[in-house]
């Protein structure tokens, strides 16, 4: 998990796609990564990470879905009005893109959210991250009209995309 995340944070679009930085992530202790893996492992109910493996067993990509409960506040301070999945940490290593793998990971994440009785699944994507927007549209997500300031740059924006049940 740690290696894949560090590779994701070195990707050219990482500043648009992730709130974390490579420098911050590489400094985290092993216990952080162990806890993170346990929270998203099979059997977890608050979130689940889906991993794509190459033929040699190496991890080439992942998608994480976190469950958000009505009556709580989301990461941006907005109230959550219904039970929903929130897709985060989407990444595929270069060389594994463009072959439908991201759609397969997103489909697995959405299916898991439906099993958790989510009413919809959402994600946020930077307005300038066209590569990701195209992948999400292809997977059936669409813009909801909700636009938030990007936490790293108040002049930039993140767009909410969602898929309703």
For the chain, which domains are there? Answer: 2-164 (3.40.630.30)
- Pair of tokens at residue 118: 């989510």
Q: Considering only residues 6 and 135, tell me which one the structure prediction assigns the higher pLDDT.
A: 135
Average pLDDT, the chain: 87
Give the pLDDT confidence score for residue 17 in this predicted structure.
74
pLDDT grade, residue 13 (50/70/90)?
confident
Give the pLDDT confidence score for residue 4 in this predicted structure.
74
Kindly write down the DSSP assignment for every residue of the chain, as one continuous string.
-HHHHHHHHHSTTHHHH-SS-HHHHHTS-HHHHHHHHHHTSTT-SSEEEEEEE-TTS-EEEEEEEEEE-TTSB-TTSPBP-S-EEEEEEEEE-TTS-SSSHHHHHHHHHHHHHHHTT-SEEEEEEETT-HHHHHHHHHTT-EEEEEEEEETTEEEEEEEEEEEE-
Highest mean pLDDT among 13-22, 31-40, 62-71: 62-71
pLDDT grade, residue 156 (50/70/90)?
confident
CB 36 within 8 Å of CB 16: no
Q: Is the pLDDT of residue 40 over 70?
A: no
Cα–Cα distances in angstroms (integers) from residue 75 to residues 24, 80, 138, 145, 158, in the given order? 19, 10, 26, 18, 13
pLDDT grade, residue 77 (50/70/90)?
confident
Q: Is the pLDDT of residue 25 over 80?
A: no
Provide the whole-model pTM: 0.85
């Amino acid at each position: 998990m740690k290696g894949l995340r560090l590779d994701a944070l070195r990707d050219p679009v990482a500043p648009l796609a992730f709130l974390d930085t490579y420098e911050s992530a590489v400094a985290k202790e092993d216990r952080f990564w162990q806890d993170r893996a346990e929270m998203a492992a099979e059997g977890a109910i608050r979130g689940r990470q889906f991993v794509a493996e190459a033929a040699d067993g190496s991890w080439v990509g992942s998608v994480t879905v976190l469950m958000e409960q009505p009556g709580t506040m989301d990461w941006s301070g907005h109230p959550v009005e219904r039970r929903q999945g929130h897709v985060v940490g989407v990444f595929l290593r270069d060389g594994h893109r463009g072959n439908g793998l991201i759609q397969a990971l997103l489909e697995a994440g959405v299916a898991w959210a439906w099993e958790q009785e989510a009413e919809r699944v959402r994600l946020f994507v930077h307005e300038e991250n066209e590569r990701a927007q195209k992948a999400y549209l292809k997977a059936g997500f669409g813009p909801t009209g909700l636009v938030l300031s990007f936490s790293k740059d108040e002049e930039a924006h993140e767009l909410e995309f969602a898929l309703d049940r």
